[in-house]
Amino acid sequence: MKNVGHLLGYRESIRVLDATIRDGGLVNDFFFTDDFVKKLYQTNIASGVDYMEIGYRASKKVFDESKFGKWKFSSDDDIRSIVGENDTNLKIAIMADIGRHDKEDFDLKSNSPVDCVRVATYIHQLPEAIDMINDAHNKGYETTCNIMAISQTQENDLKCALDMIGQTPVDTIYIVDSFGSIYPEEMARVCELYGEFAEKYHKKLGIHAHNNQQLAFANTIEACGDGVDFLDATYYSMGRGAGNCAMELLLGFLKNPKYKEYPVFKLIEEEMVDLKAKSPAWGYDIPYLMTGLLNQHPRTAIKFIKENRKDYCEYYNDLLN
C-alpha cells in the first residue's frame, strides 16, 4: 500500500525536471527561437522547477547542423546566451544520446554552464553508456542514466543492466516508459525492481513517461508514491509523438509550496498554444494509442499523422502484421 504521506504531503527530496526543449525538440527539429527558450527558462525559475533540460548535445559528426535548430547540439556558448551565469536555483541539464554523441564535446564542468549530463541508452549500448557516465562524472557533472525501451526488455537483462549501472558513479537512474505502454500497476512493480538496486547502490530514482495511452501523469504520480524523486515533465505535454507528463498537471499535484502554477499557465497562454498550432502535431492521438497498446515505437504513428492519414483500422492491421 502507498505511503499516503507521499501523495498528500510533500517530501523535500522531490525534484522536477523540465524536458520541453529536449523532448519537444523532437517535434520541431529543435527550431525554437531564442526568445522562446529564454521565456521558458524564466518560467522555470518563476515556477520553482528544479532542472531544465535545454537540449541534446548531439555529435556534429553524426547530424547535419543545417537540418536542425541549435538545441540539437546545445553548445556551452548557446546555453550561456540564454542563462548567462545562471545565478539561480535552477540547474541546467543536457542529454548525451549514446551512439549519437561525442564525449569530446563535453568540457569540464568548471568551464560549462551545464550542471547535469543525462545519458540516454538502450540496453545493448551499456558499455558505451557507462564510459560516458564515468567521463561526465570525472569532469564534474551530475549524471543520470536513462535506459530506454524497458517495456521490451527481459527482466533478467534489466536486472543485469541495473547492477552494472549501480556500480558506476551515476547519481540518478531513470525509469523510462519510451513507448507509453506501461500501466500504473506495472509501474509499481518496475519501481520496486529499480528500488532494490537504488537502495543497494545508494542511487536516486527518476521517471520519464510518455503519454500514448494518456497515462504519463498517472505513471509519474504512481512512481512518486513509490518513492521516485526525480520527475520529468514538459509544458503543455510537448514531446515526441504523444508527448510527456504535462508540467501543469504535475505541479498542480505536488504539494510543495515552492512550486507555482501561475507562471506555467502564463507560458501556455502566451507561447504554447500558438506553438502547438504552428508545429507538427504532438499529443495523444489514436495512432499513438495503438503503438502504446502494442508496445511498439511510435515512429510509424508519427509518419501516419504527418501524412494526414485517417485509415486507423488499416494502420492497426499493419501494426498487428
Beta-bridge partner residues of 233: 18
The cell for 197 is 538496486
Q: What is the overall mean pLDDT for the chain?
A: 96
Instruction: Report d(CA 13, CA 254) in Å as an integer.
Output: 12
Digit-coded pLDDT (tens) for 242-293: 999 999 999 999 989 999 999 999 999 999 999 999 988 899 999 999 999 9
C-alpha cell at 152: 521490451
CA distance 316 to 11: 43
Residue 298's pLDDT is what?
Answer: 96
Q: What is the pLDDT of residues 45-71, one digit of tens each?
A: 999 999 999 999 999 999 999 999 999
pLDDT at 7: 58
pLDDT > 80? residue 2: no
Treating both helix axes as pointing N-terminal to C-terminal, what angle do 20-28 and 34-47 enclose, rounded to 10 degrees? 150
Q: Is 287 helix (H, G, I), strand (E, B) or coil?
A: helix
Instruction: Return the C-alpha cell found at 228.
Output: 521516485
pLDDT score of 150 more than 80? yes
Q: What is the pLDDT of residue 10?
A: 78
Q: Tell me the β-bridge partners of 56.
A: 95
Q: Is 143 helix (H, G, I), strand (E, B) or coil?
A: strand
For residue 11, the model assigns a pLDDT of: 86
Task: Give phi and psi for 115, each to the nearest 5.
Answer: -100, -35
Mean pLDDT of 313-317: 97
> Is a pLDDT exceeding 60 seen at residue 5?
no
Q: Which amino acid is at 159?
A: K
pLDDT of 212-246, one tens digit each? 999 999 999 999 999 999 999 999 999 999 999 99
Alpha-carbon span 165 to 203, nearest angstrom: 10
Contact 46, 263 (CB under 8 A): yes
Nearest CA to 176 out of 95, 271, 80, 248 is that of 95
Question: pLDDT category, 4, cuts 50, 70, 90?
Answer: very low
Cα separation of 87 and 4, whole Å?
Answer: 36
Residue type, 1: M
- Asked if residues 222 and 192 have their Cβ atoms less than 8 Å apart, the reply is no
Q: What percent of the chain has pLDDT over 90?
A: 95
Rounded to an integer, what distance in angstroms lies between the CA atom of residue 129 and that of residue 120? 8
